[in-house]
Structure 1
């Protein structure tokens, strides 16, 4: 075999290639080891950093992140208390709580509130006014508090929202109780109403008590007894999912319900009084002469309190606000009227006490009266005059001239204290806010209020309850009660028990001190107003099963110039005189005192008939101890 011999140059070249190949492998191996070490160092560093971070999260900051996680999953929500109920004296429910479904939003659970609102408005009926009110309430909310947007959702609307719940982050449909007034207009001014809370409503109040609560008492008893009716707020810990939906309740502290109120008022008598007004504007107040309890308190016209509970519409409120009949005005406490001749028994008592007159003092009453050296003529309602009258017949026939003459002799300085004693120009002390005190004029009052001196003509006007004198129907009822009780009375009260516990009645106070003989004259005269042929309210005596005492009054709305005659035919309805009456019964043992005002009612006998109907209903039917009359009825 022949061997192939390569040239020496080729042999040396191959050896060099082999050596070069061996050198490259060693270099690569070294580079690989270096890279491995670097990678290991990086991994070790990252692992160390991760371990340190893990230690920080799990050990050092464990409690912080557990709390944060729990806060994202568990929320504390306020639970509104159930508002206290209101009952009449017989246990009839006057202010109730009824279930209602509401649409509310937790704003922290949505990224685009305006977009969500627009989406909701396409699904259910939501007005601009409701959106505006919702945004106002957002300003005083607490974190993660659900804010109501729409009340009284229908079953159809609840179904729509349930189907699309997955597309509505932060939206809740919840059951809630809302206030309901079964008697609506009949007791609107007594009960008032609750309505949505505004910023001003919480000034001076503990805001924590209203967490989770949308409404607050605005008028009437709802306002005056707000702290008692409200109750105490509760709380609950709820677990939510990532969309803010409540998964379960973890813990609950029940709210404390508000206390119930029971009134002296009889809702049946309230209806009798309202019906007796026959649609006229006016007021009727009936008081229990023993306790001062308010048996009926009507201000007509009224309004449906339920309109305000979840927010009244601009249209409905505008109609109430702009009505000429002023249905929002509580005439009983805030309407002030000239008391007219209803004050005559009180001033007659002042005349007897001062010695200006006795029971037998006679005055010639020709139908007109002039002050010395003054041409102005003060006239009597009876233009022909009443002839010779004494205290009894002057009250019985409501003779103005008698009171003009004797008031001029007595002066306002002795009239004003008696007026205040019967309650004129004084707060009555009733358990309701917003009462006006009216005016019992005096020298000091006129100087302070008008900046001018008192004149004799002012005394003449005051003697028949005109001029500056102004009183509320409630004050007139208090006057009737004090005249019935010979000067003694308690403050009028609407509420007789709170939470089942009777309230403590104030002891009777003797407001008027007078001789028994003087009381006999005045009370006898008031009885003759009803039970004699010349009495100004004798028309109500027919068929009367008890003795009744009272006094009529007619308050002018427009003045009549000198020499002109009163002509009802040329006066519009709203310029006719107001018709007034105060009275009590039974005359020998008073149980009820009543005051009635019919605005522009013209004839005071109309008010007397209203009072008769109220007294009949109470004394013969609704009283705890109805009268047993001679015929056994």
Structure 2
């Protein structure tokens, strides 16, 4: 008998239900994934189409910026003062060099590089953008270019580049006026980024650092161009798709007179000091020399640390523009201005006389303030006080006027503030007052301080440019201009400074101008200009660098050179219709009339007697 077998019945309904649920879940997953895929495709192909197209083109198309040629600089007669010269340089792209120190050690076996050069390159790498080229060596010779080209395969990321560099054909003659261009450093980068102008310098390595080059940087730089190149996956150029030429910088013409500038430098050779000459008819600067000077071409190609430190630490301070940054006691050159103030305020009249026994005392005070002429000038009035430069007369005038009255009158002549000249390196000098001393030193003002100010000494300091600018206002009988270098842009035919005229100084009695100017005319023709074929006006000054005790006589032979007196002079010509005004400051040379006077005569002769020895009309 066959044993009973257990019969299992399949539940088809349950299986069908399970299959259905699994199928639905699978289809949901599939459709969900398809939805995600379609969503991504929609995002890529439609929503982000432009973005990814741009990215693709950026990988395929390379934009190469092209640097514009820098504008040229000319003097007032069209003589070229700053030009661009072709050069070869060795450039490195840091991001393509694996081991920079090792590469530099190998490179110096082929191209001459000193240890100082390598130190400078290493220092320049700090803060430098790795994708922007860095100059390793400038001004390669043809032999050096050939030597490197043969070995270039050994130095990936290093290449020889050709271009134009600034060149100053007159070397140190115009440094403090023109300034110079130099490599863009980290501070320059930060400024350009802050002003949103970095793109303008994408292909430029240099920027104006000082002087005219810095002040008119935007005018001289120009607008960059670019090339659009199609490249392969290795970055090699396949073809040029588009080219846009750069717009070169504009040429500028200055008011400087090269011949007069050369004469000024010649007169200052071997001396420390400054000469500034201005055309009083429009404020144009005819000459501005600061001595000693230095060669700006060294900065264009990157000066070494050793050479720069030598300039920086020099006792003669050649890096300082003495014409606009040197602050000197104006000494007796301000006596005509003080006399004008006394006449205008009726503190004195043309007939007012003062007795000069060789000294002056504050009433009730024993101290004696000495005149430069130890035995005195006797009786002097305002005219003879200017001609003879009588200290006693101006001690008395300052005492009666007060320092605040002096400061208020002298301010409109430009003392105590920058002139607004179109270079950035300028100091304001000091026009002292009671409030100034309290703010500066937290000390009261003493009457003795006023007496020193009365002869342009004490706290009063001014730059040679300020002194020349004030003298121009005096020569113009109150008509004032902002001194400037720019004559015109692109063309030499027009003057582009129509708005540089300031409100004039108007006196209650215009005849006071004539009284002061006539005294300056006599001072000139009584001494240095007595045989000149033209009329001139002049006032000299001698500024003490340190105070001499009351009963001590100054002797230049017994003091160190840097403590000897400074010599100053202001002068203009022709007297009837001034066409040139100048100031001269010579450091530590002694007496103003003896040392600065001949310089003024030589400068005015150079300008006034060019036409076959005949005076300029």
1:411-454, CA deviations, whole angstroms, 9 ceiling, x for partnerless residues? 22321122212221122121110211111111111111121222
- Secondary structure of 2:343's counterpart equals helix
RMSD across aligned C-alpha pairs, in angstroms? Answer: 2.7
CA distance in structure 2 between the aligned counterparts of 1:80 and 1:492, rounded to whole angstroms = 33
Which consecutive unaligned segments of at least 5 residues does structure 2 have? 1-40
Q: Contact 1:86–1:95 (CA<8 Å) still a contact in 2?
A: yes
CA distance in 1, matches of 2:400, 2:469: 28
1:516 to 506, 510, 517: 510
How far apart are residue 149 of structure 1 and its match?
2.1
C-alpha displacement at 1:223, in angstroms?
A: 1.2
Residue equivalent to 1:569: 557
Q: CA deviation at 1:305?
A: 0.4
Q: Is contact 1:98–1:180 with CA below 8 Å preserved after alignment?
A: yes
Asked if structure 2 preserves the Cα contact closer than 8 Å seen for 1:101 and 1:152, the reply is yes
Q: Which residue of 2 aligns with 1:467?
A: 458
Q: Give the structure-2-normalised TM-score.
A: 0.86
Q: Is the 8 A contact 1:169 1:243 kept in 2?
A: no
**Partner residue, 1:295:** 286
Q: Deviations over 1:317-369 (max 9, x none)?
A: 12111111111010001000000011100010111111111111111001111
2:377 aligned partner: 386
| Aligned: 1:505 with 2:492 | no
Contact persistence 2:525–2:531 (CA under 8 A)? no
Name the counterpart of 1:609. 598
Q: Which of 529, 550, 563 is equivalent to 2:538?
A: 550
- What is the alpha-carbon distance in structure 2 between the residues aligned to residue 277 and residue 194 of structure 1? 25
Match of 1:595 in 2: 583
Structure-2 separation of matches of 1:62 and 1:468: 72
Secondary structure in 2 matching 1:204: helix
How far, CA to CA, are the matches of 1:62 and 1:371 in structure 2?
A: 90
Separation in 2, partners of 1:385, 1:83 = 60
Matches of 2:123 and 2:301 in 1, distance apart? Answer: 15
Change (3 A) 1:166 1:249: farther
Q: Give a deviation string over 1:70-105, Cα, whole Å, max 9, x none.
A: 766653222111111111011111111111111123
The 5 Å alignment of 1:219-298 reads: 219-238=210-229, 249-298=240-289
Q: Does 1:331 align with 2:322?
A: yes
Q: Aligned to 1:541, which of 519, 522, 529? A: 529
Cα distance, 1:316 vs structure 2:
1.2
What are the residue-to-residue correspondences of 1:283-432 with 2, within 5 Å? 283-432=274-423
Cα distance change, pair 470–110 in 1 and its aligned pair in 2 (3 A): closer
Are residues 525 and 598 of structure 1, via their aligned partners in 2, closer, same or farther at CA, if it must alter by over 3 Å?
Answer: same
In structure 2, C-alpha distance between the alignment counterparts of 1:244 and 1:260, rounded to whole Å: 37
What residue number does 1:172 align with? 159
CA contact (8 A) 1:170 1:244 kept: no
CA distance 1:481–1:514, shift in 2 (3 Å): farther
Q: Is the 8 A contact 1:281 1:598 kept in 2?
A: yes
Distance 1:400-1:542 versus aligned 2 partners, 3 A rule: same
Q: 1:109·1:244 contact (CA, 8 Å) conserved in 2?
A: no
| 8 Å contact from structure 1 (residues 579, 597) kept in 2 | yes
Looking at structure 2, the residues matched to 516 and 65 of structure 1 have their Cα atoms a distance apart, in angstroms, of 77
Closer, same or farther: CA 352–260 of 1 in aligned 2, 3 Å: same
Q: Which has the larger radius of gyration?
A: 1
Q: Deviations over 1:259-289 (max 9, x none)?
A: 1111000111001111122421100000001
Deviations 1:125-166 (A, max 9, x none): 234554455556666666854433221111111111221233
Q: 1:96 — aligned with what?
A: 83
**Cα gap change, 1:64 to 1:169, in 2 (>3 Å):** farther
Aligned length: 565
Separation in 1 of the partners of 2:512 and 2:98?
81
| Deviation (angstroms), 1:117 | 3.5
Match of 1:85 in 2: 72
Q: C-alpha displacement at 1:113, in angstroms?
A: 4.5
Tell me the equivalent position of 2:9: none
The residue number in structure 2 matching 1:36 is none
- Is the partner of 1:621 in helix, strand or coil? coil
The answer (yes or no) to whether the contact 1:583–1:595 under 8 Å persists in 2 is: yes
How far apart, CA to CA, are the structure 1 residues paired with 2:173 and 2:217?
A: 21
Q: How does 1:483-494 map to 2 (within 5 A)?
A: 483-494=474-485
Aligned CA distance change for structure 1 residues 139 and 409 (closer, same or farther; 3 Å): closer
Distance in 1 (CA, whole Å) between partners of 2:549 and 2:383 is 30
Residue 16 of structure 2: aligned partner? none
Contact 1:187 1:298 survives alignment (8 Å): yes
**Corresponding residue number in structure 2 for 1:482:** 473
CA spacing shift, 1:418–1:171, aligned 2, 3 Å: same
Pick closer, same or farther for the CA change 1:450–1:425 going to 2, 3 Å.
same
Return the alpha-carbon distance in structure 2 between the equivalents of residues 172 and 199 of structure 1. 23
Change (3 A) 1:239 1:454: same
Instruction: Give the deviation of 1:108 after TM superposition.
Output: 4.8
Residue number among 146, 150, 174 corresponding to 2:137 in the alignment: 150
Distance in 2 separating the partners of 1:143 and 1:318: 28
How far, CA to CA, are the matches of 2:111 and 2:230 in structure 1?
A: 28
1:444 corresponds to 2:435: yes
